[in-house]
Amino acid sequence: MNMELIKTVADIVTAGATLAIAVTGVGALIYAARQLKQSREDEKVRHLVEFSKEFDSEPMVTWRKKVAELRLQGKTFPDEALRLLDFFETIGLLVRRGYLDEDDVWSMFSYWMFNIFADFREEIEQIRRDDDVYYGDFCDLIERLRAIEKGSGGTDDRPSKEEIKEFWRDEANTLPGAPMKKRRRPAKK
């Protein structure tokens, strides 16, 4: 009887130790998953900051200014506009792949994306008719950003011709490193 009691106690201790190991393992997995998620979120922010710096420095500022000046002079689709579209296409690709958060992109770049897309929509559509690979991620992202804009009560996703002209006036005065000027229309009541 003593041996059975010892065996039972040993089985209970073994079961308890096994349970403790299992609980510790599950806890470690949960902790690792949280750390991995936090690391991914940190990387998304880091990527966004890098794109913001790129957008606000040379040569991007020169291209933005050049496109603005040419648009204000009446040129319909300056070659430099392709560089802006390529920049936003890259952002669209990284959002699609999960390297950038679309809400953060909306907050940081939607003003420029909405205006540029609205101004060059016909040219973008023509490029896509010729080869639908080009600017697909940018176009898809615009639709996603419009949903965010609508959900926030904003109305900036479809700027008027006058608002686009004012956008290009602002862009023509852009300086490297200067704070990025965003205009937002008040939400309709």
CB 104 within 8 A of CB 141: no
Q: Is residue 51 part of a domain?
A: no
- What is the per-residue pLDDT for 182? 66
pLDDT band, very low/low/confident/very high, at 68 (cuts 50, 70, 90): very high
pLDDT > 60? residue 22: yes
Domain range enclosing 140 = 56-172
How many domains does the structure of the chain reveal? 2
The answer on 84 and 32 residing in a single domain is no
Higher-pLDDT residue of 23 and 144 is 144
Residue 187 has what DSSP assignment?
A: P
The answer on 118 and 91 residing in a single domain is yes
Least confident of 83-87, 91-95, 110-114, 171-175: 171-175
Least confident of 12-16, 156-160, 166-170: 12-16
**Based on the number of CB atoms within 10 Å of its own CB, is 99 exposed (0-12), middle (13-18) or buried (19 or more)?**
middle
The answer on 108 and 84 residing in a single domain is yes
**How large a percentage of the chain has pLDDT more than 70?**
89
The answer on 120 and 85 residing in a single domain is yes
The answer on 120 and 32 residing in a single domain is no
Structure tokens at 137: 């991620």
Q: Is residue 81 part of a domain?
A: yes
- What is the per-residue pLDDT for 180? 65
The answer on 115 and 67 residing in a single domain is yes
CB 168 within 8 A of CB 68: yes
pTM of the model: 0.78
